[in-house]
Amino acid sequence: MVSNSSPSKKDMINLVQQYFGESRNRHPDKIAVSCGDQSMTFLEVDDTSNAAANKLKSAGLPCKSFVPFFMKKGVNSIVSIMSILKSDCAYVPIDTNSPADRIAAILKASHARLVIVDAESRALFESLLGDTTDLDLFVIDDFDATDCAAPRCENLSIDIAYVLFTSGSTGVPKGVMIPHKAILDYIDWCVEEYALTEDDVIANHAPLYFDNSTFDLYTAFKTGAELHLVDEGVNAVIPRLVKWLRERRVTTFFCVPSVLSMLLRSRRLKDDSFPNLRHVICAGEVLPPDVLRVWMQKYPHIQFTNMYGPTEITVDCSYHVFREPPGADELNVPIGKARNNMELLVRTEDGSLSQTAGASGELLVRGTSVAYGYLGDEERSKSVFIQNPANEHFYDPLYCTGDLVEIRENGDFMFCGRADDQIKFLGHRIELGEIEAALVSVDGVLEGVVVYNEAPNTEDSAIGALLNLDESVSDASLIEALHSKLPPYMVPTVYVRTTENFPQTANGKYDRKAIRALVFQP
């Protein structure tokens, strides 16, 4: 059995909540988490989550249960996460903006017996789900927090810490199972690579149901840094982030690249906007070279890093630190090389695995941080988590990402698009990502997303683009520039201009389905 109290030796860490325990012992009165006008110290979070975990255990919550929590991002969310972990269970974040059917699907897949809510979210949950007689609701900010003794934890590092539900191609959410050991493997590397310490202030921009948040939470918990959650009011108007990052003295900011694009377009960036910021880390979607170039030139004191990885490999498996801005002729930037304790392989067209320069094909990932698969979906898990064909001696899973890559001469991996985003148009196989890279490299293109409309009559099919352009860029000059970069069959024929923010998913990525509807309106 493992005590929840923090271990005396670094090598004794085997559960992620022990990161927090160690920081609590070092800095009990320091602010651990802040959101809006609310904040809690390490001691307050630790004591409150201990009491909640004891209450959950005494209520008969079975160990290793999957426990959803349903509330807006805030200090209560962090207390909920810690309470669930200390109960020897795995947490399941649910987006409060989700429709009732999706919430019900997640609850069913999780075999949930109990859902943690707060006073604000309880009414919303009950209104969406109706009669919840088969579920117990635990109100995190409405219980007697008298028993603050650290509960005894029995979990091992191989047990599941969280399940994140991502969109499934069939419309049914996929619950990705991530164990403690996978998070520890990732976070220990992140803290060392970025030299994070207790003096840092780490922003959490991503929703807690998006895996990018794993970096924010656990690097802060491990180092004893302050964790500042970007509240929904700031997130609703992205330009507010400029002032927020400055006022909070944020030193480390992890975001999806489109946030950088939107901040750049807001025209609120000043040379002295971010005096404390030393790390900007991007992941989750393609990082446009033009956007990165402007940021690097404007803020030379900041280290910019491009990281890559799907939810199924615990946030990120590769990274590339930029030592100088990308050149004006660069159409894309590297996703880099494998981080420590991870291995990247390319499955080529003939099915063989390669790590040789020049190889191209689907990216497969190997390492401790590969997920256990999809909760309750063995068939889907088996289709993308496969046994390493080069190893016949022990279980050695490879995750098949569905992402297409190419290896450069220097060993850097380049993202080339999605296997399922490959289209066949006018007899040609085309990667939409290649067109998009060319599009955003054109002078005056502030933002651009390429989509494809497949019609029953092949001749009516078309490639289109949603654009934010400088007013000086005419349609004719844009098309001329694209013809200089792409073969004629790859040049979009439908263009829609907008000055509004591009549609986004709940995770902050481009909502390509909504963009397609905008570009190809009836």
pLDDT in tens, 380-424: 999 999 999 999 999 999 999 999 999 999 999 999 988 877 776
For residues 289 and 360, state if they share a domain.
no
Q: Where is the domain boundary, 260, 295, 313?
A: 313
DSSP class of 186: H
Query: 418, 443, 477 — which closes off a domain?
Result: 418
Type of residue found at 469: L
Maximum Cα–Cα distance for the chain, whole Å? 71
Asked whether residue 471 is assigned to any structural domain, the reply reads yes
**Mean pLDDT calculated for residue range 195-205:** 98
Cβ atoms 304, 292 nearer than 8 A = yes
Q: CATH code at 353?
A: 2.30.38.10
Residue 307 sits in the same domain as residue 390:
no
**pLDDT of 145 above 80:** no
Same-domain check for residues 447 and 377? no
Q: Is residue 272 part of a domain?
A: yes
Q: Are strands 494-497 and 462-469 parallel, antiparallel or unpaired?
A: parallel
Give the separation between CA 287 and CA 255, rounded to whole angstroms: 11
Range of the domain at 391: 341-418
**CA atoms of 347 and 119, how far apart (whole Å):** 50
Q: Which residues contact 23 (CB under 8 A, 6 or more apart)?
A: 32, 42, 198, 221, 222, 223, 224
- CATH number of the domain within which 233 lies: 3.40.50.12780
Q: What is the pLDDT of residues 308-360, one digit of tens each?
A: 999 999 999 999 999 999 998 888 999 999 999 999 999 999 999 999 999 99
pLDDT greater than 50 at residue 6:
no
413 & 431 share domain: no
Q: How far apart are CA 266 and CA 283, in angstroms?
A: 21
* Relative orientation angle of helices 289-298 and 432-440, to the nearest 10 degrees: 40
Residue type, 490: M
395 & 506 share domain: no
Same domain as 353, residue 443:
no
Question: Phi-psi category of 463—alpha, beta or left, where left has phi over 0 and alpha has psi -120 to 50?
Answer: beta
Q: Confirm whether 233 is domain-assigned.
A: yes
Q: Is the residue at 334 inside a domain?
A: no
Residues 315, 317, 321, CA angle at the centre, nearest 5°? Answer: 105
- DSSP class of residue 420 equals G
| Whether 236 and 300 share a structural domain | yes
- My answer on whether 244 and 132 are in the same domain is yes
Q: What is the pLDDT of residues 160-199, one digit of tens each?
A: 999 999 865 454 678 999 999 999 999 999 999 999 999 9
Give the tens place of pLDDT for each residue, 415-444: 998 887 777 676 566 778 888 888 988 999
Alpha helices in 156-272 (DSSP H): 180-193, 213-223, 232-236, 240-247, 257-265
Q: Is the model's pTM score more than 0.75?
A: yes
Which domain CATH number covers 491?
A: 3.30.300.30
Both 139 and 202 in one domain: the answer is yes
**Residue 388 lies inside a defined structural domain of this protein:** yes
Tell whether 173 and 234 lie within a shared domain. Answer: yes
- Distance of alpha carbon 15 from alpha carbon 182, whole angstroms: 10
pLDDT value for 383: 95
pLDDT band at 509 (very low <50, low <70, confident <90, very high): confident
Per the domain annotation, does 333 fall within a domain? no
Question: Which of 418, 444, 467 represents a domain boundary (last residue)?
Answer: 418
Q: Look at residue 116 and tell me if it is in a domain.
A: yes
Residue 374 placed within a domain = yes
- 78, 192: one domain: yes
Q: How many domains does the chain have?
A: 3
CA distance 99 to 449: 27
Same domain, 234 and 156: yes
